[in-house]
Structure 1
Amino acid sequence: MGTTVLSAIVVYIATGIDYLIILMLLFTQSVKQKQTKHIIVGQYLGTAIIILISLLAAFGANFIPQQWVIGLLGLLPIYLGIKVWLKGEEDSDESNILSLLSSERFNQLFLTVTFIVLASSADDFSIYIPYFTTLNIVEIAVVSLVFFIMVGVLCYVSYQMASMKYISEKIEKYERWIVPIVFIGLGIYIMMENGTFSALFSIFSN
């Protein structure tokens, strides 16, 4: 059982480390306790969905969409980055990405965080699905529990790093540029990594 726990920790770190910077950025933007809770809930919900889909796929269910379709979720962080960038030098509270997502049109922040997690999940599926096929029922339960504990650890580490004065001050000072660059860059990376651009080019060139 110790081997199972250790392997689960290694697998999660290998796939979850990508979320560290995104979570740090979101936590530095969270000015309300409710926003912080939404970020954590979104990370947990996104992880739970990834685990569930991976388990179903590992045991024969074949409903995971083509990889390029998953890449379309990269449009979300691109949209968010452009939204913040267009706000320019307006009031900092209004240009804060979490304030935008907590407005009347986007009042369920945790859903947006969930979609960002899912958009970044292509590598997760490629590792989780074959990994789960090697486990029995008890081991799957243990691994799932370890994954959820590791989500908590990841959120805690990200929050603590975001709370460091130097980091928070730098992000606050340059957030007008950092937030758009990170989110637009993430969206483009997600779409490129999943072959979305080439797939769309093939479709529209026919």
Structure 2
Amino acid sequence: MGVTILTAIAAYVATAIDYLVLLIILFSQTIKKNQLKHIVIGQYLGTAIIISVSLLAALGTIFIPQQWIVGLLGLVPIYLGVKIWVKGGEEAEESDILSLLSSGRFKQLFLTVTFIVLASSADDFAVYIPYFTTLDMIEIPVVAIVFFIMVGVLCYVSYRLANVRLISEKIEKYERWLVPVVFIGLGVYIMVENGVFHVLFSS
């Protein structure tokens, strides 16, 4: 059981490191407690969906589309990045980043965070699906529990880093261009890594 726990931690860390910078930026924007709650809920909800889909795929119950199709979810952070860039510039004095992320198509902030997590999920599926095929029915709930504990650890570490004075000051100083660049960069990275552009431009 100890080996199962260690491998579960390793699997989660290998796939979750991408979320660290994003969560630090989001947590650095939190002023209200309900905003903080939304970020955590979104991270947990997105992870729960990824785990459930990966498990069902490992059991042969559902079919995961080709990787490049999953990579199209990279359009979500690109859309959000452009939205922040445009509206943030227009309403710099009136709107904060989290308000912009929880308006328009995504009425609740936790939905935005959930979609961002899902947009980054192609690598998660690539690791989790074969990993889950090696587990028996006793190990699966243990791994799921470890993953959910690790989500809490990731959120806590990100929150603590976001509150480091040097980091928070830098983000606050450059947030109007830093946040859009991070979101757009994440979206482009997701699409490149999953071969979206290769498929679209090679046909």
TM-score of the pair, normalised by structure 1 = 0.93
Distance 1:43 1:37, change over 3 A: same
Question: Amino acid of the residue matched to residue 25 of structure 1?
Answer: I
* Secondary structure of 1:137's aligned partner: coil
Q: CA offsets, 1:157-188, max 9 Å, x none?
A: 00010011111111000001110110110000
Is this contact kept in 1: 2:81–2:181, CA < 8 A?
Answer: yes
2:151 match: 151
Task: Tell me by how many angstroms 1:121 deviates.
Answer: 1.0
Is this contact kept in 2: 1:93–1:99, CA < 8 A?
Answer: no
Pick which of 113-122 and 145-154 moved more.
113-122
Question: Amino acid of the residue matched to residue 74 of structure 1?
Answer: G
Structure 1: runs of 5 or more not aligned: none
2:201 match: 201
Is this contact kept in 2: 1:27–1:159, CA < 8 A?
Answer: yes
- Could you tell me how far apart the structure 2 residues matched to 1:52 and 1:63 are? 13
Task: Tell me by how many angstroms 1:93 deviates.
Answer: 4.5
Q: CA offsets, 1:109-143, max 9 Å, x none?
A: 11111111111111111111111111111101100
Question: Amino acid of the residue matched to residue 6 of structure 2?
Answer: L
- Could you tell me how far apart the structure 1 residues matched to 2:93 and 2:144 are? 39
Pick which of 105-114 and 11-20 moved more.
105-114
2:89 match: 88
- Could you tell me how far apart the structure 2 residues matched to 1:106 and 1:12 are? 27
* Secondary structure of 1:103's aligned partner: coil
Distance 1:92 1:163, change over 3 A: farther
Is this contact kept in 2: 1:76–1:187, CA < 8 A?
Answer: yes
Is this contact kept in 1: 2:70–2:122, CA < 8 A?
Answer: yes
Count of matched residue positions in the alignment of Structure 1 and Structure 2: 202
Pick which of 58-67 and 179-188 moved more.
58-67
Q: CA offsets, 1:46-66, max 9 Å, x none?
A: 111111111111111242122
1:37-186 maps to which residues of 2 (within 5 A)?
37-86=37-86, 87-88=88-89, 90-94=91-95, 96-103=96-103, 106-186=106-186
Is this contact kept in 1: 2:84–2:101, CA < 8 A?
Answer: no
For the pair 1:20 / 2:20, whether they are aligned, the reply is yes
Question: Amino acid of the residue matched to residue 152 of structure 1?
Answer: G
Is this contact kept in 2: 1:100–1:106, CA < 8 A?
Answer: no
Pick which of 57-66 and 102-111 moved more.
102-111
TM-score of the pair, normalised by structure 2 = 0.94
Structure 2: runs of 5 or more not aligned: none
- Could you tell me how far apart the structure 1 residues matched to 2:106 and 2:132 are? 35
Pick which of 82-91 and 171-180 moved more.
82-91
- Could you tell me how far apart the structure 2 residues matched to 1:65 and 1:18 are? 22
Task: Tell me by how many angstroms 1:202 deviates.
Answer: 3.9
2:6 match: 6
